[in-house]
Structure 1
Amino acid sequence: MNNIIAICCLIVSLALCSLAGAVDSPMAQLKPTLKSLTDLLADESLKGDVHRDVRRAKIMDAIEVGFDFQEMSKRILGKTWNEITPAEQERFTREMIKLLENIYVGKLESYSGQQIDFLEERVKDRRAQVSTTIDNNGVKVPVHYILNLTDSRWMVYDINIEGVSLVSNYREQFKSILRKEKFAGLIKAIEEKNRSFAEGTEASR
């Protein structure tokens, strides 16, 4: 599932460019990403370990254009978000970006041209869901992108794969830490995990 999440992140990451006038529909903004993303993955100048840092930096730059990580972080923390300071909110968001990068970006190279079919979109006010499937070795995997209209762009803040929400998954993982150790314990645990990735002592899962 981690590989599919990583692929989904790439699918949406380059979709959102500057828009003038009326805002395109969420699906209309997602569809044009496919060619850009496959081009990025097929770029021979970015392949190989020697280009790893440059490649991953480009991937993260692209992802950050299309994802509302602050909204994602807010929903992961739930009520705790309103109990911490703006500086702590920024710190948590920053560490969540690092955590997602450490866990998923390394899996993006596994993308090998799986077909993505866009099925439908549902829009209500400033929220939207775009439903797709990814052909994973002949199995159609349902993937739903949950988006929020921010300014003039639709931004992804959650991905739901086969009924499993990325936001809900992390919220459940963090719940016991927040209950026992509060925010201070959670942010410390995330920072330590990110440091272990940086030091090469943690394998991405």
Structure 2
Amino acid sequence: MYRTRFIAVIFLSLLYLGLSSAGVAGAATQTRPDPMEQLRPFVNEIVGILTDKDLAGKANCRKRRQRVMAAAHERFDFKEMSKRVLGREWRKLSPQQKEHFVTLFTKLLEHAYIGKIEDYSKQTVEFKRQRIRGNRAEVQTVLKEKNVTIPVSYIMILENGNQWMVYDIIVEGVSLVRNYMEQFREIVRQGGYSELIKLLENKIDTLEHDLSKTCPIDLPRKAAP
């Protein structure tokens, strides 16, 4: 269902943003923060988590994943992503349904993708340029490994006047949001929204089951007698 190379590229690129930067179109101003610069601390935090010796190993797998997701929530707007992947269907949902879908979609991204970033290697990513139009921005980067060059763009929205949040990633011209939107739209067309929810819940259950084999759940330690 999901393109393996697309998944891997997205998260490898998240890890290695920020080695250099080039021209900027629509530069940030004194009253408008710089989207490219707001990505850097996020990337540094992710790398720090994955290289932290205290979080290394199978025993710390869940804790490590929780830290990564906590960092992701600081820079990714999962509600905006959810809204866009559902398109017109989003407007038909009740507030409770919207909240439930955001939770499911976020879990799907977590379980389907986070494991990919734990096996990263030393690819390099260059910041190329950023384009800002109003409260939207695109940060263009290039992922490089040996003779392979892959363009990766981060689509961001300015929230609360001071935070640039990622709501889409485009790899080699393929949008993460559009990729899911097309899949979800077809599922809803054939079986309705309830069918989409059922499929998402089943997929998440499967991913969680697979995860439990390699990433044990942290259990509280019993006190010594």
2:109 aligns with 100
Does 2:65 align with 1:56?
yes
Larger radius of gyration: 2
For 1:111-151, what per-residue CA distance to the aligned partner results, in whole angstroms no more than 9, with x for missing partners? 22321100000001110000001113431210000000111
Question: What TM-score, normalized to structure 2?
Answer: 0.80
Does 2:34 align with 1:29?
no
Does the 8 Å CA contact 1:127/1:146 hold for their aligned counterparts? yes
Say which of 174, 189, 192 aligns to 1:179: 189
What SS does the corresponding residue of 1:155 show, helix, strand or coil?
A: strand
2:198 aligns with 188
Please, which runs of 5 or more residues in structure 2 have no aligned partner? 18-29, 214-225
Does the 8 Å CA contact 2:42/2:71 hold for their aligned counterparts? no
Q: CA RMSD in A?
A: 2.0
How far apart are the structure 2 equivalents of 1:201 and 1:160? 27
CA gap of 1:201–1:31, structure 2 versus 1, over 3 A, is closer
Say which of 188, 199, 205 aligns to 2:209: 199
Residue 33 of structure 1: how far off its partner (Å)? 3.9
Question: What TM-score, normalized to structure 1?
Answer: 0.88
Please, which runs of 5 or more residues in structure 1 have no aligned partner? 13-20
Higher relative contact order (CA 8 A, sep 6+): 2
Does the 8 Å CA contact 2:45/2:71 hold for their aligned counterparts? no
1:5 aligns with 10
Output aligned runs, 1:82-93, within 5 Å.
Answer: 82-93=91-102
Does 2:142 align with 1:133?
yes
How far apart are the structure 2 equivalents of 1:190 and 1:39? 31
Does 2:86 align with 1:77?
yes
For 1:134-173, what per-residue CA distance to the aligned partner results, in whole angstroms no more than 9, with x for missing partners? 1134312100000001112000000000000000100111
Does the 8 Å CA contact 1:10/1:59 hold for their aligned counterparts? no
Residue 184 of structure 1: how far off its partner (Å)? 1.0
